Amino acid sequence: MNEEAREQFAEIASLPDDEIVLTEAALLIAAEMQDNLNVPHYLSMLSNLCDRFERTVDNETPMGTSVNSLLDFIHISEDFGGNVKDYYDPQNSYLNRVIDTKQGIPISLALIHIALGSRIGIPVCGINFPRHFLVSYGAEIQVIVDPFTGRILSKPDCATLLRQHLGENAVLKEEYFSPATNKDVLMRLLDNLKQIFWQKEAWVESKACIDRQLLLLPNTPEFTLQLGAVYEMQGNVPLARHTYTQVLLVSDDEHLRNQVSQRLLALEPKAKTLH
């Protein structure tokens, strides 16, 4: 793990939300997992991408035309798109690899939209839609875009997308279109990575994701519980027990406390049966 990248990320995580540069923070997440990642180089590549786009458009075009032009540039001219062949590859969540390969998952591709939008003055924000991250163009009138495909979505399209992920009984709610804060985006990026590493039983990498989530949202009992689970999976019973106990000391969430109590009980040595 790259400790320097972790320290730089910690500094960014301590900033007010509106001072966080998403692309830099996302690259630092990638840098912790990869050797010799040159963050300034990839920030420069994003700037160059923006310059190429600006040379292709008329600055006097209306907002709607600019959105379509930017979508065409990202997904047709530059050929960014979703990695449908290997969706759960961790590389899809590393912004440098997305820039290199032009493939990713919805949230990492959303970073390309947000980065270009911020540089050329088009309001673009992330949308923490359930199970499939979206982006919204515009301040007053939202234009919802699927960054995985580059397609503009209507509300019925979004309802269909929701049902695909949550089942036929899922109901579209207006709250699903609330703008994501910068920390929201980083939390979801880390959560995606954490789920992938957890499935692979890659506990060192899972812990790295949890540690960075705790930098963004310190003292969150849910993440402390997950840390305890990592220690338990690694066989460090004393540290797991200590970490679980910390959750009991700080959390009032009855469901969470029950989970912790069950884990602590499972850690107790089994009494020997006499025959």
Question: Domains in the chain and their CATH numbers?
Answer: 3-177 (3.10.620), 219-267 (1.20.58)
pLDDT of residue 56: 81
pLDDT of residue 135: 97
pLDDT of residue 67: 87
pLDDT of residue 61: 59
83 band by pLDDT with thresholds 50, 70 and 90: very high
Specify the pairing of strand 81-82 against strand 103-104. Answer: parallel
Q: Are the beta carbons of 135 and 145 closer than 8 angstroms?
A: yes
> Measured between alpha carbons, how far is 129 from 106 in angstroms, rounded to an integer?
11
Percentage above 90 pLDDT, the chain? 85
pLDDT of residue 275: 53
pLDDT by residue (tens digit) across 84-99? 999 999 999 999 999 9
Specify the pairing of strand 151-153 against strand 143-146. Answer: antiparallel
Mean pLDDT score of the chain, rounded to an integer? Answer: 92
Side-chain half-sphere exposure of 208, counting CA atoms within 13 A: 23
Percentage above 70 pLDDT, the chain? 95
Quick check: helix, strand or coil at residue 216?
Answer: helix
pLDDT of residue 272: 52
Looking at residues 186-200, what average pLDDT do you find?
Answer: 97
pLDDT by residue (tens digit) across 119-161? 888 889 999 999 999 999 987 778 999 999 999 999 999 999 9
pLDDT by residue (tens digit) across 223-233? 999 999 999 99
Residues 6+ apart with CB under 8 A from 215: 9, 10, 13, 14
Side-chain half-sphere exposure of 54, counting CA atoms within 13 A: 13
> Measured between alpha carbons, how far is 145 from 4 in angstroms, rounded to an integer?
35
Q: Is the pLDDT of residue 118 over 70?
A: yes
Sequential DSSP letters for 154-209: -HHHHHHHHHHHH-TT----GGGGPBPPHHHHHHHHHHHHHHHHHHTT-HHHHHHH
- Give the global pTM: 0.92
pLDDT by residue (tens digit) across 19-53? 999 999 999 999 999 988 999 999 999 999 999 99
Handedness of CA 258, 254, 212, 85 (dihedral sign): positive
Q: Is the pLDDT of residue 111 over 80?
A: yes
Q: What crossing angle do the helices spanning 22-33 and 182-199 adopt, rounded to 10°?
A: 20
173 band by pLDDT with thresholds 50, 70 and 90: very high
